[in-house]
């Protein structure tokens, strides 16, 4: 049993939900976050916040004191911006991960759970679910940094004996996702519709993705924590393909049915089809996604409404 967890990036979207889930399991939780995207108010009551950076060895070493499991969530999460800002992407996502690994030997840490991404995969020819053996040929710098980090984590685990699981998250949605032009189509569309603006679909909108609720992502991390299987990589998704056009239709129905979408040229580096085969994580960890998109999309809309400031502006990041 683990007693004290470190969540890097724990003031962010996924990390804060994970911190809550760990607290509910009775663990002591420490959060390491530089608050560049995360918010202090996202850190749940009962968790300790250490303001610091995963690229700083001193910050990481200080946050590891007394910790026996690490959930490495901190990252620059943007496929689109990683193409132009590839150096910054690699500095945080790859070198930040290597810095965490470098600091682990000699501590009490026995397991690392690494937040990877569907972006490690090659383009799929159809929206059929892909499993963990599908070709890993990333088409974006973000995917490259995530795949390289996975490989370093597994190599590190083999040589040090510190166990590691890598979880390949598919399109995660839910409350607390920071509004950004680059990340989270559901959050982006929601804010545009609340502003009375048309959602912009890049391409024909028939690209299909696997949208997984952030609470299910947190549950998958708990399942990985409890696992006694060594060094495994797991998809975390639902296995259900949903098109961007369907997302726009759902949100227009919730917010502004009279606003029509508009289309723009598709972006390079983004997968057209990305749907998870989750049979491995179901079989080996007993994890099954418990939430359907239609059941939770209203929760995202209400959160976005409630977090907006007077005058229609969304809250700061």
Is the pLDDT at 310 greater than 80? The verdict is no
Do 221 and 71 meet the contact criterion of CB atoms below 8 Å apart?
yes
The answer to whether the beta carbons of residues 227 and 292 sit under 8 Å apart is no
Q: Above 90 in pLDDT, residue 247?
A: yes
Q: Looking at residues 197-212, what average pLDDT do you find?
A: 95
- Check: CB of residue 255 under 8 Å from CB of residue 316: no
Q: Which of 183-187, 202-206, 228-232 has the lowest mean pLDDT?
A: 183-187
pLDDT at 269: 77
- Ranges of beta strands (E only) in the chain are 4-8, 28-33, 48-51, 69-72, 111-117, 163-169, 171-173, 200-202, 208-209, 211-213, 232-236, 242-243, 262-264, 273-274
Mean pLDDT value of segment 43-47: 98
Look at 96-105, 173-182, 218-227, 259-268 and tell me which has the smallest mean pLDDT.
Answer: 173-182
The owner of tokens 């499993």 is: 131
Contact (CB, 8 A) for 83 and 138: no
- Please report the sign of the dihedral spanned by the C-alpha atoms of residue 173, residue 175, residue 177, residue 179: positive
Q: How confident is the model at residue 183 (pLDDT cuts 50, 70, 90)?
A: low
Split at pLDDT 50, 70, 90, the class of 313 is very low
The predicted structure's pLDDT at residue 309: 52
Q: How confident is the model at residue 181 (pLDDT cuts 50, 70, 90)?
A: low
Q: Concatenated DSSP letters for 85-123?
A: SHHHHHIIIIIHHHHHHHH-TTSS--EEEEEEEGGGSPP
At residue 295, does pLDDT exceed 60?
A: yes
Angle at 238 between CA 3 and CA 156, to 5 degrees: 45
Looking at residues 194-209, what average pLDDT do you find?
94
Please give the pLDDT value at position 316: 31
Q: How far apart are CA 221 and CA 167, in angstroms?
A: 8
Q: Confidence class of residue 182 from pLDDT cuts 50, 70 and 90?
A: low
Q: Residue holding tokens 């969304």?
A: 314
Contact between 90 and 145 (Cβ < 8 Å): yes
**Lowest model confidence (mean pLDDT) among 76-80, 231-235, 247-251, 258-262:** 76-80
Q: Given a cut of 60, is residue 15 above it in pLDDT?
A: yes
- Cα–Cα distance for residue pair 69/238, rounded to 1 Å: 26
Task: Give the span between the Cα atoms of 17 and 216, in whole angstroms.
Answer: 10
List Cβ neighbours of 36 (8 Å cut-off, separation of 6 or more).
none
Q: Read off the tokens for 215.
A: 């609470």
Nearest Cα neighbor of 75 from 166, 188, 190, 202 is 166
Tens-digit pLDDT profile for residues 50-100: 999 999 999 999 999 999 999 999 998 877 678 788 999 999 999 999 999
Q: What was the pLDDT predicted at 189?
A: 95
Q: Cα–Cα distance between 141 and 217 in angstroms, integer?
A: 23
State yes or no: pLDDT of 121 exceeds 60: yes
Residue indicated by tokens 């209203």 = 298
Backbone angles phi, psi at 147, to 5 degrees: -65, -45
| Per-residue pLDDT, 311 | 39
Average pLDDT, whole number, for the chain? 93
Q: Is the pLDDT of residue 18 over 70?
A: yes
CA 56 to chain centre: 22
Predicted TM-score (pTM) of the model is: 0.93
Give the pLDDT confidence score for residue 77 in this predicted structure. Answer: 81
Instruction: For residue 64, give the H/E element and its range.
Output: none
pLDDT of amino acid 268? 77
Residues annotated as part of the active site: 142
| Inter-CA distances, 33 with 38, 48, 52, 83, 283, Å | 7, 11, 5, 24, 33
| Domains of the chain and CATH, by start | 1-310 (3.40.50.720)
């Amino acid at each position: 049993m683990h007693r004290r967890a470190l969540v890097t990036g724990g003031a962010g979207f996924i990390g804060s939900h994970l911190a809550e889930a760990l607290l509910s399991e009775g663990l002591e939780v420490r959060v390491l976050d530089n608050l560049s995207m995360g918010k202090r108010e996202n850190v749940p009551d009962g968790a300790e916040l250490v303001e610091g950076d995963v690229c700083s060895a001193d910050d990481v070493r200080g946050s590891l004191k007394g910790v026996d499991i690490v959930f490495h969530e901190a990252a620059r999460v943007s496929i689109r911006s990683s193409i132009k800002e590839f150096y910054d992407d690699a500095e945080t996502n790859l070198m930040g991960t290597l810095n965490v690994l470098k600091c682990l030997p000699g501590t009490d840490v026995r397991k690392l759970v690494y937040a990877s991404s569907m972006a490690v995969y090659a383009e799929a020819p159809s929206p059929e679910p892909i499993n963990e053996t599908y070709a890993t040929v990333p088409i974006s710098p973000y995917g490259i940094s995530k795949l390289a980090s996975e490989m370093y984590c597994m190599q590190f685990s083999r040589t040090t004996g510190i166990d590691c699981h890598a979880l390949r998250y598919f399109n995660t949605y839910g409350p607390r996702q920071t509004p950004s032009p680059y990340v989270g189509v559901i959050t982006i569309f929601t804010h545009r519709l609340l502003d009375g603006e048309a959602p912009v679909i890049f391409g024909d909108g028939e690209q299909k993705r696997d949208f997984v609720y952030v609470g299910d992502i947190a549950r998958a991390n708990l399942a990985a924590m409890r696992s006694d299987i060594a060094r495994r990589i797991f998809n975390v998704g639902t296995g259900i393909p949903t098109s961007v056009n369907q997302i726009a239709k759902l949100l227009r129905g919730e917010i502004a049915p009279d606003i029509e979408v508009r289309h723009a040229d598709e972006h390079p580096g983004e997968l057209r089809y990305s749907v998870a085969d989750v049979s491995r994580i179901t079989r080996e960890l007993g994890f099954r996604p418990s939430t359907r998109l239609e059941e939770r999309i209203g929760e995202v809309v209400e959160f976005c409404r409630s977090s907006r400031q007077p005058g229609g502006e969304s809250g700061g990041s």
